[in-house]
Amino acid sequence: MKLTLTSVYRPHCFPTLLNSSSFISLCRPFCTSALSSVPTGVKPQVPLFLRPPIYSTKLCDLKKWHDWAKGLAFSVGSTFLHSDNGPDSSLLCRELKWLMEDAVVGHHSLGVKDDGRVEMRVDMEELYCLWRQRILERRPFQYVVGCEHWRDFVLSVQEGVLIPRPETELVVDFVSGVVSENEDLKKGAWADLGTGSGALAIGIGGVLASGGGRVIATDLSPVAVAVAAYNVQRYCLQDNIELREGSWFEPLKDMEGRLAGLVSNPPYIPSKDISGLQAEVGRHEPRVSLDGGIDGMDALLHLCDGAALMLKPGGFFAFETNGKQQCRALVDYMENNRSGSFCNLEIRADFAGIQRFVIGFHQ
């Protein structure tokens, strides 16, 4: 299913705040292959594991489903792996176990009633449908169950919102390290731009909560803002995290020169690589949160320029990138085009050893 552009998937509209010719390339419409069209006034979906257990099924029927689902997972073998580095049978079986955990209530001894029935958060028909979508449509597992486990959080996600990646968990550690040595930054206002599910804002909000600091999280997608708001509320961080709808720095005009910190995991995949992505990513996740333009650097360069303007002296920033090449290019850009704006620039690797992040401070 392909839908044309909806109001949700607007092209990047960078603010006029910064007039750099390098951003013109971004002001073009993106095509999207995302599945759902979401009306305005978005109501976020409730993740499977939080839905009420209003269904019940016979244990033998559940087992029948499980055998079928496992068979389907095994039929995949390593086809996905070879075609686009997708999941193989063993990974799919692990996901099947997680799907069971989310869909079925309780332990077998508690969950199975005397009449041999189990309580479910979803009916059997939908359960068949969900697993079919997972395997046949390559719908990401996280969209199937409506959540992703990230750091200590279980975050709600749905179509239209980027699924937070384990690599990004490290950004919270960077921030945690910086504020542990600097009370001033801990008390300040931080921003997470292109927050998506709100993962970074929530991770950082938790770190700052004890010191009185707060996070402003922005996203141009109303779906993302709605989902992020739902997640913020679930972790009772609404006093520390404020959500603003809009593109990058656009909703932050009142914060010029006042931000204590700035983080972002912006779209950074070069446009030419989008078509070759793993199906779960390329077919289902919002292109607007993946595609970083010709060299993947459009949003990153924009963030650099904005950081120079929005951060207060001594303010900290951390950006995630596509890898070594982008890290180097970003550092070069900061040193050459923005000399005097930033100091203590560092490239940090993720846990797989890929140079992933650029961090530093405003002069």
Partner 1 sequence: MAHMFLFKPTLSLSLRLNKTSISLPHRSFRHSHPPFPFLSSTHPISLPSASDSNNRTHIRCSSNHTSTAVEGSEKSFVHLTDVELMRQCEMDTFKASGPGGQHRNKRESAVRIKHLPTGVIAQASEDRSQHKNRASALNRLRSLIALKVRKTVDLEAYSPPRELLQILPPKSSIRGSDCGPQIGPNNPKFALGMQALLDLFFAVEGSVSEAAKYLGLSTGALSRIILSDDSLRKEVNNLRASKGMKPLK
Residues 300-339 that bind partner 1 (CB under 8 A): 320-323
176 counts as binding partner 1 under rule CB under 8 A: yes
Q: Which residues lie across from 319 on neighbouring strands? A: 264, 358
Min separation Cβ 17 and partner 1, Å: 26
Q: Show the site string, 239-258: x = touches partner 1 by CB under 8 A, - = not.
A: --------------------
Within 95-154, the residues that bind partner 1 by CB under 8 A are 95-98, 100-101, 104-108, 111, 140-142, 148-154
Within 14-43, the residues that bind partner 1 by CB under 8 A are none
Pick one of 76, 130, 135, 172: the residue that binds partner 1 (CB under 8 A). Answer: 172
Min separation Cβ 258 and partner 1, Å: 26
Min separation Cβ 1 and partner 1, Å: 19
Number of other CB atoms surrounding residue 106 within 10 Å: 11
Rounded Cα distance, 84 and 12, in Å: 28
If we measure between CA atoms, which residue out of 192, 148, 143 comes closest to residue 320?
192
Binding segment (CB under 8 A) for partner 1, from list 25-33, 244-252, 268-276, 310-318 = 268-276
> 29 or 276, CB closer to partner 1?
276
85 counts as binding partner 1 under rule CB under 8 A: yes
Rounded Cα distance, 12 and 248, in Å: 9
Q: In the chain, helix, strand, coil percent, each to 5?
A: 45, 20, 40
Rounded Cα distance, 87 and 70, in Å: 14
If we measure between CA atoms, which residue out of 180, 174, 198 comes closest to residue 318?
174
288 counts as binding partner 1 under rule CB under 8 A: no
CB under 8 Å to 211, separation ≥6 — which residues? 179, 183, 186, 187
Rounded Cα distance, 22 and 338, in Å: 14
Rounded Cα distance, 360 and 317, in Å: 6
Pick one of 9, 235, 317, 342: the residue that binds partner 1 (CB under 8 A). Answer: 235
> 151 or 302, CB closer to partner 1?
151
Min separation Cβ 2 and partner 1, Å: 20
> 120 or 310, CB closer to partner 1?
120
Assigned token pair, 327: 């890290």
Min separation Cβ 89 and partner 1, Å: 7
Give the number of residues written for the chain. 363
83 counts as binding partner 1 under rule CB under 8 A: no
CB under 8 Å to 212, separation ≥6 — which residues? 186, 187
> 142 or 341, CB closer to partner 1?
142
Min separation Cβ 294 and partner 1, Å: 16
Min separation Cβ 338 and partner 1, Å: 23
CB under 8 Å to 72, separation ≥6 — which residues? 131, 132, 135
Min separation Cβ 148 and partner 1, Å: 8
46 counts as binding partner 1 under rule CB under 8 A: no
